[in-house]
Amino acid sequence: MCTIQKNFIQESLCLQKKVHDIGETLGHTPMTRNKFQTITQELDETFRILKIVKERLPSHSLEAARFAELEEAVISLYGRTVDAWVHHEVLDIYEEAASLAHCLKCGRVTAGAVQKLAARLAAFHRAYRPSLDDRRLLAEAERIVQRADTFLKNDYIPQEEAPCEVKNGEETITDAMLANMEELMDIATLVYNHSRREAKIRYHQLAESVKKKFTSQMKDLGAQPFEDILETCQVLLSMAHASVGSPNGYLTESEIAEFFAEADQVDREDKVFSFRSIGSLGA
């Protein structure tokens, strides 16, 4: 066996162990700020080494395929790490909101507590893209802030409100359905803009049932997820459309280009625009 092959095998085994150790650390101890920073730094370093090694390999060699698998494992760990950290932060925010709700029930709300939680929620939304389940907790925290703010302004405790809903024909579309649709569309946008690594990290944060449906549809199209950009966008946008109760076929290449051209002109947080635009293109 030549020296080059031996070096690649040694590097591969070393990186495999590193990836395995990071996964073990991630799964066996609670998430903390220090743990998040440490794991992220280790993943950044591992990914950097993988990139250097891959550039030295023939693109279609067996060694390149092995390192490509390691790269996918690292990207998956990025997604799990971010997901775990975001969930840790969401739970902390929710606990703070629950404490505020208790104070509200007793009529002992302070403006400082309301402003602090409102500012924390705003900063969190600017920094992170939480999972669907975490968005439900955040939505509840936001409703508590709104109720507490109403109490301070009007000196009465408002009744709890039901989650916001909109109508699509005869079907009710909940906040959760809109959040799921938005997440799929965000990933499609990253793929369309060739931000494959970030798209994969966000993809690995999706529910397993959603990922299984995505891979199944990609297999039906005979396409490679994230490599075949058109088909990946077609499936993600189709699933986004279906998540709000409006199943439709795959958009054409020109319809997808038109959709993203329109989306660039509006606020990405405007869910109503997103839903109506994708619905009209498939009509």
Report how far residue 141's alpha carbon sits from residue 116's, in angstroms, rounded to the nearest whole number: 12
Report how far residue 231's alpha carbon sits from residue 83's, in angstroms, rounded to the nearest whole number: 26
Diameter of the chain measured on Cα atoms: 81
Residue 57 is given by DSSP the state S
- DSSP 3-state of 165: strand
Tens of pLDDT, residues 214-257: 999 999 999 999 999 999 999 998 888 887 666 667 888 888 88
Domain layout of the chain by residue ranges: 3-79, 85-164, 172-281
Residue 167 is given by DSSP the state E
Q: Measuring CA to CA, how many Å separate 239 from each of 121, 245, 264?
A: 29, 10, 21
Tens of pLDDT, residues 8-40: 677 778 888 888 888 888 877 788 888 999 999
Contact 100, 117 (CB under 8 A): yes
- Identity (one letter) of the amino acid at 73? A
Q: How many angstroms from the chain centroid is the CA of residue 69?
A: 22
Q: Which residue has the higher pLDDT, 171 or 30?
A: 30
When mean pLDDT is compared across 103-107, 158-162, 213-217, 231-235, the lowest value belongs to 158-162
Annotate 48-65 with b (16+ C-beta within 10 A) or e (fewer): ebbeebeeebeeeeebbe
Angular region, 268: left φ>0, alpha ψ -120 to 50, beta rest: alpha
Average pLDDT for 182-202: 87
Report how far residue 136's alpha carbon sits from residue 33's, in angstroms, rounded to the nearest whole number: 23
Residue 59 is given by DSSP the state T
Report how far residue 58's alpha carbon sits from residue 98's, in angstroms, rounded to the nearest whole number: 56
Whether 76 shows a pLDDT value over 80: the answer reads yes
Q: How many angstroms from the chain centroid is the CA of residue 183?
A: 6
Take residue 212 and report the two structure tokens written for it. Answer: 């299984």
**pLDDT (0 to 100) of residue 270:** 43
Q: How confident is the model at residue 103 (pLDDT cuts 50, 70, 90)?
A: confident
Contact 281, 259 (CB under 8 A): yes
Report how far residue 240's alpha carbon sits from residue 188's, in angstroms, rounded to the nearest whole number: 9
Q: How confident is the model at residue 159 (pLDDT cuts 50, 70, 90)?
A: low
Q: Is the whole model's pTM more than 0.75, yes or no? A: no
Average pLDDT for 245-270: 70
